[in-house]
Chain A
Amino acid sequence: KAGVTQTPRYLIKTRGQQVTLSCSPISGHRSVSWYQQTPGQGLQFLFEYFSETQRNKGNFPGRFSGRQFSNSRSEMNVSTLELGDSALYLCASSLGSAESTDTQYFGPGTRLTVL
């Protein structure tokens, strides 16, 4: 079974631009979560989508948004980029049950650099 894939793997943008990142979950997985990893803050939860609906949301500004398509693929968008948005953005998928034992599997991440 193919793992979680993320595209692109690397991205360089300038301040003020916007960016869209893509995540394809493991086949059969209906939940997709996004995380931001920075050296100072570690791994922080952005949001989770399940069946095309946002199920959970972290404490990030409205410039960060996402969506999920009917095939469970998800996109994350960041508008008006700031230098502090430079980070590794990780996507994780799971079956999406409400059980805490439903393991999340992570993709390799997209490394975003904002200049």
Chain B
Amino acid sequence: DQQVKQNSPSLSVQEGRISILNCDYTNSMFDYFLWYKKYPAEGPTFLISISSIKDKNEDGRFTVFLNKSAKHLSLHIVPSQPGDSAVYFCAAPRGGGSQGNLIFGKGTKLSVKP
């Protein structure tokens, strides 16, 4: 039962353009969402988060949008840089509680071409 879904396994974008990574969820009890970035041979690194009481959160080049009615969130990276090439995971705390028990999507591999 995949409660957090990332339906695009990969995405290729030109440097300087916008990257949009998508994530869908099925559990309406989720009240907090996170995006992690992962390089090969490293653990995931926290990127940005959003609470369900907001519909947008911005941090530099990264913006996360949340559409609760559609149970959908997206991560926008503007402008995309080659160093952004990594696997991006969407995640939510199970049961709406602490992050000690996260449910992850299967990830989207972003390639930013110079």
Contacts and interface: CB of A to CB of B under 8 A. Distances in A.
A38 B43 CA distance: 13
Interface residues of B, number: 28
Contacts of A43: 44, 89, 91, 102, 104, 107
Given A45-B101, A55-B100, A97-B98, A104 B46 contact: yes
Contact of B100 (A4, A44, A48, A105): A48
A109 B42 CA distance: 7
Chain A, interface size category, equals 20 to 34
B20 interface: no
B10 to A, nearest CB: 14
A41 to B, nearest CB: 8
Interface string B30-50: 011010100001111110010
B106 A42 contact: yes
A35 B104 CA distance: 10
A80 interface: no
A103 B43 contact: no
14 contacts: A42-B104, A42-B107, A43-B44, A43-B102, A44-B104, A55-B100, A92-B43, A94-B99, A94-B100, A96-B98, A98-B98, A103-B49, A105-B46, A106-B43
